[in-house]
Every structure is written in structure tokens, then in C-alpha cells.
Amino acid sequence: MRLQVARIGKPHGIRGEVTVQVMTDVPEERFVPGVVLEVEPESAGTLTVSRARWNKEILLLAFAEVGDRNAAEALRGAKLFVETDEEEPVDDDAWYAHDLVGLAALVDGERIGTVSGLRQGDVQDLLEIELTSGGDALVPFVEEIVPEVDLEAGHVLMTPPAGLLELNQPEDPEAGS
């Protein structure tokens, strides 16, 4: 199975190192020198980790194929993947992002949208929901707000607090002021 383990951020320094947003629970296993990572978009081919180090709480990676800041800048936003035999997450309440994308988002049994992504954060993860009414919403992926994820039934059950789904939605210019 192809598993996303990181997304490349900005370059760090002049020798081709990059910052990465880590999307794995085991970075010490995924980013050791010699590991070959698949890159998306595919035009970038593969990258071989030559060095991995932590700078405070940010992981910095250097690749054998990337020798300078310009080459590192060209990789900004690229997704890094590994091939793995892992079929299921270790925890019962853990899911891969690709498991969640496409699930129906339900509130009180009614479909309000579709899960379009997962933003992984330091403190908590956010489900990206494409609303059927138009626009997008970010929903904290915590048990109090998303008490049920049913992969077999193809949905997530949500109990968002009032106003959460309307946050950051464009205002209706026709609405009274």
C-alpha cells in the first residue's frame, strides 16, 4: 500500500535541505538515510534520504538528488510516499488520511458534505469537509465532535457545536446589514 509520510515545506539553508510536515507516527523509521521516497507530483521521480535531523520541532531532510536551495525550492509542496505492507493502523481509533477522504459527513443522520482531506496538526487534526451547500469547513477531529468513523458504512458522524460549519464561509451580500 502507498502511504503518505510527509509534505515538503520550504528550503532550509543553501545546501538543499527542506523542512517537512511529518505525517507518520514513526519518523525515526521512515526517514533514515538510504530510504527511497516516491514523490507526487510524479514528475519529481523518487528521492533518497541522505540526512534527517530535527531543528527544534521541525524535521529537516536532505536528499541525494537535491544539491542546492533552488532545487529544494522546486520541491515545495510535494508529497512524499512509501510503499508499505501495513494494512490497518495499529490503534482502533486511528485512520490513514486516504481512508477518510470520500466518506460522507453526517450531522443528525443527514449528509452535509464529504470528507475531502485531513490536516494533521501538532495539537489536533482537522477534517476538511466539502459542504453540499457550497464551500468548505474545517472540523476538529476529536471524539467530542466526530464521535464515529465507520469505514464500512462510508461515513463520519459529527456533532459540531453551533456555528462551526459556518465559520469562514463567505457572507451573503444579499443578507441584510
Chain segment 113-153, per-residue pLDDT in tens: 999 988 877 678 889 999 998 889 999 999 999 999 998 99
d(CA 26, CA 36): 16
For the cut 60, the answer to whether the pLDDT of residue 87 exceeds it is: no
Query: How far apart are the C-alpha atoms of 160 and 133, rounded to whole Å?
Result: 16
Report how far residue 128's alpha carbon sits from residue 126's, in angstroms, rounded to the nearest whole number.
6
Give 50-84 pLDDT, tens digit per residue.
999 998 889 999 999 999 999 999 999 899 988 87
Hey, what CATH topology would domain 2-83 get? Elongation Factor Tu (Ef-tu); domain 3 (2.40.30)
What's the rounded Cα separation, in Å, for the pair 86 and 92? 14
pLDDT in tens, 6-28: 889 999 999 999 999 888 878 88
pLDDT higher than 60, residue 90:
no
Q: What is the CATH number of domain 97-166?
A: 2.30.30.240
- Residue 91 CB-density burial (10 A; 0-12 exposed, 13-18 middle, 19+ buried): exposed
Q: Note the pLDDT of residue 177.
A: 47
Cα–Cα distance for residue pair 114/111, rounded to 1 Å: 8
What are the cell numbers at 148? 464515529
Mean pLDDT of 36-40: 92
Q: Which residue has the higher pLDDT, 166 or 96?
A: 166
Q: Does residue 124 or residue 31 have the better pLDDT?
A: 31
> Where in the sequence of the chain do the CATH 2.30.30.240 domains occur?
97-166
Range(s) of the chain covered by CATH 2.40.30.60: 2-83
> Averaged over 96-111, what is the pLDDT?
89
Q: Cis (ω within 30 of 0) for the bond into 41? A: yes
List the one residue out of 2, 7, 3 whose CA is nearest residue 120. Answer: 7
pLDDT of residue 122: 66
